[in-house]
Structure 1
């Protein structure tokens, strides 16, 4: 004769079934992502990118455990020399990079060095550009590379060099009021509040000029002083202009690059945490990484930059290993 199962037996069976079900629904352990390889291409003789880019790299190494390569302009003795226009060491690191960060101005690189930058840009991998990357190169008219002077930065980053609103007591007073576009929602804007920048405002949009491609402005600036205003040219060069945007670039590979660009980048801009957050958010977005409120934008090493300016205003007698963040030998 069949007997009813006891209460305790039923309880045991139910508990076992629930245990099996919970094991099935238990999430798989996530495989940790490989830290990104980020290559900074440095070479501007005005805005102390040789100081600001290592500062930014230090934060990224701390926050992402990123593999960093800093490619500096070096003289024949291996010293960092922003005035050396025809040599940036270590660019082969771009061949295996996950992100290129470009902060150069009017460089005239030899073909073997230039090839690493151009090949990277055509690969479909992400790119970030700062300030003078709108005029990253300046080849003579007789060169086969003159298209890099204006056409290339406009296609890749969204605009070429046009003009700015004027220096005015460089480094003594802020010259641009920066405000995020509050009408859009974008991860790059997370945690970015209005601030005042020491960068004088670049003109990139308005009058006879428009941002190119699918550029989407996210942050705007207003010139606090303007030579164009004094000369009555605001119809051509208005006081308000985009200072940061996203776009895409489709290279020869057919792959589409994520691109973030900002025309800010004066050495004193980086002392403001909002500037650092904007740049870091842009880098995370370009790498297709989540932008979180917990991102720590504090310096990883002291940041005490020289003011902007030409000539011998940079810190002299330094080699790559002397910089606050030591990441490779830059060779």
Structure 2
């Protein structure tokens, strides 16, 4: 902020002739640009403050003004280029001449996005830019690099972002070279181009409506390239860019899928919500675990390893965690979604899965607790296990060392059972010694400690002894994702087009100020698309996007390449058969994120990842729910609604489920610790462990 104020102060001094010397020194290798904005809806001042430190770190200094009166020879000649991001409508003849002369004498013009709808009274300006904005829609998209040999585009791959889909008119093809095109059903639209006029150069791109694009590393890389080209700078200083990670390929010799007759509801993409198409009359048969494993792809350098599966698991894995010895504990369900049983009569259980011979495959399975019904999350505390099993939160403990729970008690009750896919989930231990979680629209209504609580759809935290619960903030949808960074920053995900959320300020701070109330948390990734590797996708709504997003674990270990460390989150999408990777970028007091690539993705229609968490070995572990039927509701025509508010069908699988580890070829083979026998000095030492998992356990 100080740098911004200082730069503006210099500009004001220049405008009013206070005698400050502004000439560019020959020995100064920095590129100095004037950034012309306005006070309009594109918020140029905010975008300037967003991009200024990014470019300053690369030797490009920006100075901001919103005064069109700055377009004089004296001021312009103090800079090597003029950036325009504004909707200023009128240009005086003197200002027009000053700008044209400035460019034609050998300086740079960098009009961005809305600058193509600037100075509408000046045909010469429109010709200088190369075209004029005509209309737009919106969407998340990627454009095509059509001239990869151009100096700007060498080593550059396009990026994906939400933006306005500009269409231009009044094209001036003279001395214009188009570098990128946006393609849609109506054809190809010039998107990024360069021009020369006199001795000067023009770089234009239609990217740039708001912070989502300006924070994108691809946009920042492209902008730096355009600036350096237009100012005759050194393009070799700009690194290559690609946001598309190289992925492994499916094996060539895969067996063909087999199919059986079926009756499966189908909802084609439609403007009318819930409108059905013809039911699907055949379905793929399930694959054996090792065969299904072959149908996953992942980033090059990684390998997917099967740790446990049916028949050993004896149920559908719905949640998992690891104890202080690094052993995997899995909640298995048969009762989900419509067969919630009376207390003590359930068919579900929690099983400890151990690798006893060091081959990284589970070979010992111990039932810690049975007769449960739809347990949705578990975490370790106070020598036992806290389990969400609506309507209760339970505490289970083994008191004699046989790995079987012989103490069971209810910590509190109040979780609604009206919809079994909208209850509590994703328990995470926070740095403040509270346990964090997420609840969907089913919500909570009960008394914890001496305090009555009623809330739904959002983040909460609770004391490990069940003495207190606090609702933190509302999300905007049914929600199943929680993730904590190594600093304790709280993230999450929701269903229905909102896969990435940041919680900056919890409700309690608003409640301390009379008249204040918090808003519902919006997403930080927009309505990000999914990138499945098969067209065999069945979704009720938000087609080709995240409609059943779950989890938001950050990579908080050091076994993967450094690009992952504490700055990428993993969000599952079972309808797309994938786990997506969301790089997280600081943005003011919050963050932005984007779906950059798949961590794993399958073309097996049964594959349904629902959990992706960093395990004790510093690898990401994935639960594959492995079910052809993912849809919970709405109830399709011709079907009945079950007790758990899911439509009833005998095609819901009750026996398949797999747990994988994603291992990097250059990663360490981390042996699990055993903190159950650790003394104080060992626990303190573990606080230095490079895996956040172990630091939290210690």
TM-score, normalized by length of structure 1?
A: 0.57
Q: 2:132 aligns with which of 131, 139, 160?
A: 160
Kindly indicate whether the alpha-carbon contact (under 8 Å) linking 1:158 and 1:247 is maintained by their aligned counterparts in 2.
yes
Shift of 1:240: 2.0
CA spacing shift, 1:135–1:282, aligned 2, 3 Å: same
Partner of 1:53: 48
Q: 1:219 aligns with which of 167, 174, 180?
A: 180
Shift of 1:241: 1.0
1:71 aligns with 2:43: no
**Partner Cα distance (2:100, 2:589) in 1:** 33
Q: 1:261 aligns with which of 204, 217, 224?
A: 204
Shift of 1:99: 0.8
CA spacing shift, 1:270–1:296, aligned 2, 3 Å: farther
Aligned partner of residue 52 in structure 2, secondary structure: helix
CA deviations on 1:127-154 (whole Å, 9 max, x unpaired) are 111012222124xxxxxxx3x1xx2233
Shift of 1:42: 1.0
Unaligned stretches of 5+ in structure 1?
1-30, 73-86, 139-145, 168-172, 224-228, 230-237, 251-255, 308-331
CA deviations on 1:47-78 (whole Å, 9 max, x unpaired) are 222222333232222211x4432112xxxxxx
**Partner Cα distance (2:77, 2:228) in 1:** 20
Q: Give the 5 Å matches for 1:96-175.
A: 96-108=78-90, 117-138=99-120, 146=121, 148=122, 151-164=123-136, 166-167=137-138, 173-174=139-140
Kindly indicate whether the alpha-carbon contact (under 8 Å) linking 1:178 and 1:220 is maintained by their aligned counterparts in 2.
yes
**Partner Cα distance (1:249, 1:189) in 2:** 20
CA spacing shift, 1:301–1:67, aligned 2, 3 Å: farther
Kindly indicate whether the alpha-carbon contact (under 8 Å) linking 2:148 and 2:156 is maintained by their aligned counterparts in 1.
no
Higher relative contact order (CA 8 A, sep 6+): 1
CA spacing shift, 1:185–1:51, aligned 2, 3 Å: same
Aligned partner of residue 198 in structure 1, secondary structure: strand
CA deviations on 1:238-272 (whole Å, 9 max, x unpaired) are 3421210111112xxxxx21111111111111222
Q: How many residues align?
A: 223
Shift of 1:189: 1.6
Query: Which of 1 and 2 has greater Rg?
Result: 2
Partner of 2:77: 95
Identify the structure with the greater helix proportion: 1
Aligned partner of residue 219 in structure 2, secondary structure: helix
**Partner Cα distance (1:112, 1:211) in 2:** 23
Q: 1:288 aligns with which of 199, 210, 232?
A: 232
Identify the structure with the greater strand proportion: 2
Partner of 2:37: 42
**Partner Cα distance (2:177, 2:157) in 1:** 19
Kindly indicate whether the alpha-carbon contact (under 8 Å) linking 2:177 and 2:194 is maintained by their aligned counterparts in 1.
yes
Aligned partner of residue 134 in structure 1, secondary structure: helix
Partner of 1:185: 149
CA deviations on 1:258-317 (whole Å, 9 max, x unpaired) are 1111111111112221111111110011111121365499x998457999xxxxxxxxxx
Aligned partner of residue 47 in structure 2, secondary structure: helix
Q: Give the 5 Å matches for 1:308-323.
A: none
TM-score, normalized by length of structure 2?
A: 0.29
Moved more, 111-120 or 275-284: 111-120
Kindly indicate whether the alpha-carbon contact (under 8 Å) linking 2:33 and 2:79 is maintained by their aligned counterparts in 1.
yes
Aligned partner of residue 104 in structure 1, secondary structure: coil
Partner of 1:246: 194
Kindly indicate whether the alpha-carbon contact (under 8 Å) linking 1:199 and 1:265 is maintained by their aligned counterparts in 2.
yes
Partner of 1:197: 161
Shift of 1:90: 4.9
Kindly indicate whether the alpha-carbon contact (under 8 Å) linking 1:47 and 1:265 is maintained by their aligned counterparts in 2.
no
CA spacing shift, 1:204–1:108, aligned 2, 3 Å: closer
Unaligned stretches of 5+ in structure 2?
1-25, 242-583, 593-698
Shift of 1:156: 0.6
**Partner Cα distance (1:114, 1:211) in 2:** 18
